[in-house]
Structure 1
């Protein structure tokens, strides 16, 4: 089991340089490190001294391996795996004549495939830490939010369909048809949904990993430029909306000016030294302790005794936050992010009695 670390911030703030410095420092400390590049262009190869990278991990130093994710290659691999599953569970496969090399990349597919690659490298047990050098923006956060969003769609969509008039109409025809093409034994559509419930377990495992800073952790990167600072604050709040803990802020002095620590309280704010040519020693020394679990508020805290749910939402104003309730679920919208919280049994049957935004916390009470 690895710890996955990524950096969030505006492009051009030095995120990739910081990622490489952390990877080098961790490897020198004896950790088994995988540096995962997922940005277009040769930037990562140049930072590594021109070492050519591929879609498979390459060892470039003691304890340090690097891989450059390529979406088309990942798509081919996972399409082949999907066809094998189809052949295993479906008597007459539909997609056997479609090959991964023929498929184009749809919008959003990059991040979903990257998340699955990170999950696979984590499950391999070969690495103590995985450094993800991705886009570092809202698309990265949407990728880390996939387990929670997908579990909501799976739970709500299957329930809605099975209870619909359409399902009742199709049931006399659909059940015999599905039995004829499936190798899975089931008695009804509800039973088939339960047998496929392993998907729910996968989503839940992913959700729990994202919520645990000992498993997945992010740090913010900015320069003193006001636009970069505001972008970092926005990404900080957006990270909380997917349940991802942010452990600190790193200021890269590429331009003159200062960053107010008060704007990022209670995050630790650290200023990075400049890299001098090929000498990484100052940067490697500066990033010590970056993997430690931070002393910051969790994205969500549920207190069943006081019947409250407390969300940590830095970077947002009261006007940007909306709240709604549907049965045992709460939906919180902040900025361009939406989060669905499944309430524990003690709160699931209760209605929201009040919500108060005390920056940067949203406190929701139940009657």
Structure 2
């Protein structure tokens, strides 16, 4: 199983330094490593090597790639057109070309996440290090599978229960028309198939994010008060989407100890790099895989106790909001929101109580 690592924190330069040191260290251990950066110039400048949109060798067991949205959308658009041709008798997108598409807000996140998935499933790498923006937008991107999954299941059920949905399924007049428009013979199963494929795709994404053996984030901070506060905020936000934060990389020149600020996480004091000498930083890095597994899990569901426990460090009681409008429970903290998909034993049950204790939101049903 590939281990995917990303680093979160206020300073882009410090995050990228840690990402590069981690990539070099893991590659020296014989791991096949890919370090993937966004379009910002920090990664190639610190590496001293220009990166392209395709993975290239930058060292023994080490490859690097720069995720360029323009290139990714061209590749993705061709897949969209193939999918359209599979389901529509008269495709309408064949005359639209990926090279002429503009990048809309949020589109780059979708493309990046899909590309990381492809690298993960390729089997070519033991470790993938994603050097992204390292802020709330990265966390929101990583929570995308869970968010889209909610939209699919909620609106699919609403549509199925609506008069329009029932008419499409049951009407003998509508069925032949749809069979003419679509490149399939009409049955309910034909139209359930793409939705089921999407759900399977999203489930794999959620499972990857929720598995600390597969995906983990680490916080990077200095002694600066604002950086420490930002790291705490990103810690809690990551937990809310189900992403395990494995530990803290503390770049300190003064020898300050941040253990109390981030308990129960493990805090590793690491030096800043001096010139091109990466070795001291590499030597100070922790065992990422071991720390990720030992870190507190973001969510625990106890069916026997009829409880859900969410670990939300970095927030106080006033910053956490719990609501239940439909069959699921919605939790908000900071600028993140999560609809908790409950197991059958708790699904649809009303919340009977909730308390915020020792950074845990404990919900009873």
Residue 310 in 1 paired to residue 316 in 2? no
Give the aligned partner of residue 272 of structure 1.
270
Is contact 1:13–1:252 with CA below 8 Å preserved after alignment? no
Alpha-carbon shift at residue 155 of structure 1 (Å):
0.6
Partners of 1:174 and 1:342 in 2: CA distance: 34
1:320-362 Cα offsets, whole Å, 9 max, x none, are 1111224541111111111111111111243211101003001
1:81 corresponding residue in structure 2: 79
Q: 2:37 matched to 1:27?
A: no
Following superposition, the deviation at residue 96 of structure 1 comes to 0.4
Look up the match of 1:205.
Answer: 204
What are the within-5 Å matches in structure 2 for residues 171-320 of structure 1? 172=171, 175-188=175-188, 192-194=191-193, 196-253=195-252, 258=256, 260-292=258-290, 293-320=292-319
Task: Measure, in 2, the Cα distance between the counterparts of 1:56 and 1:336.
Answer: 34
> What residue is the counterpart of 1:163 in the other structure?
161
* Structure 2 residue aligned with 1:9: 9
Q: Does the Cα contact within 8 Å between 2:3 and 2:128 map onto a contact in 1?
A: yes
Measured at CA, do residues 213 and 132 of structure 1 come closer, stay the same or move farther in structure 2, by a change above 3 Å? same
> Is this contact kept in 1: 2:176–2:186, CA < 8 A?
no
Q: Which runs of 4+ in 1 moved over 6 A?
A: none
Q: Which residue of 1 aligns with 2:95?
A: 97
In the alignment, structure 2 segments of 5+ residues that lack a partner are: none
Q: Residue 260 of structure 1: CA displacement? A: 3.1
Pairing partner for 1:138 from 109, 112, 136: 136
SS of equivalent residue, structure 1 residue 348: coil
1:62 corresponds to: 60
Residue by residue, what CA displacement relative to the aligned partner does 1:112-146 show, whole Å, maximum 9, x if unpaired? 11110000000000000000000000110011001
State TM-score, norm by structure 1.
0.94
d(CA) in 2 for partners of 1:88 and 1:63?
39
Q: Which moved more, 1:105-114 or 1:84-93?
A: 84-93
CA drift at 1:157: 1.1
TM-score normalised by structure 2 residue count: 0.94
Tell me the distance in 1 between the aligned counterparts of 2:241 and 2:327: 19
Q: How many residues align?
A: 362
Offset of 1:89 from its aligned partner?
Answer: 2.2
User: How many angstroms does 1:205 deviate by?
Assistant: 0.9
Deviates more, 1:162-171 or 1:2-11: 162-171
Query: Contact 1:161–1:167 at 8 Å: present in 2 too?
Result: yes
Which segment drifts farther, 170-179 or 277-286?
Answer: 170-179
**Kindly tell me: are residues 294 and 39 of structure 1, through their superposed partners in 2, closer, same or farther at Cα, counting changes over 3 Å?**
farther
Q: What's the offset of the Cα at 1:258?
A: 3.5
Q: Distance in 1 between matches of 2:194 and 2:114?
A: 22
Give the conservation status (yes or no) of the 8 Å contact 1:300–1:310.
Answer: yes
Aligned with 1:54: secondary structure? coil
Residue 127 of structure 1 aligns with which residue?
Answer: 125
Q: Secondary structure at the match of 2:287?
A: coil
Q: Would the aligned equivalents of 1:39 and 1:135 in 2 still touch at CA under 8 Å?
A: no
Q: Is the 8 A contact 1:224 1:257 kept in 2?
A: no
Residue pair 1:13, 1:228 contacting (<8 A) in 2 also: no
Secondary structure class of the residue paired with 1:278: coil
- Higher mean displacement: 124-133 or 269-278: 269-278
Q: 1:86 & 1:329 partners in 2: Cα distance?
A: 33
State the Cα distance separating 1:91 from its structure 2 match: 1.3
> Per the alignment, in what secondary structure is the counterpart of residue 250 of structure 1?
strand
How many angstroms apart in 1 are the aligned matches of 2:25 and 2:133? 22
Contact 2:88 2:183 in 1 (8 A): yes
How does 1:330-341 map onto structure 2 within 5 Å?
330-341=329-340
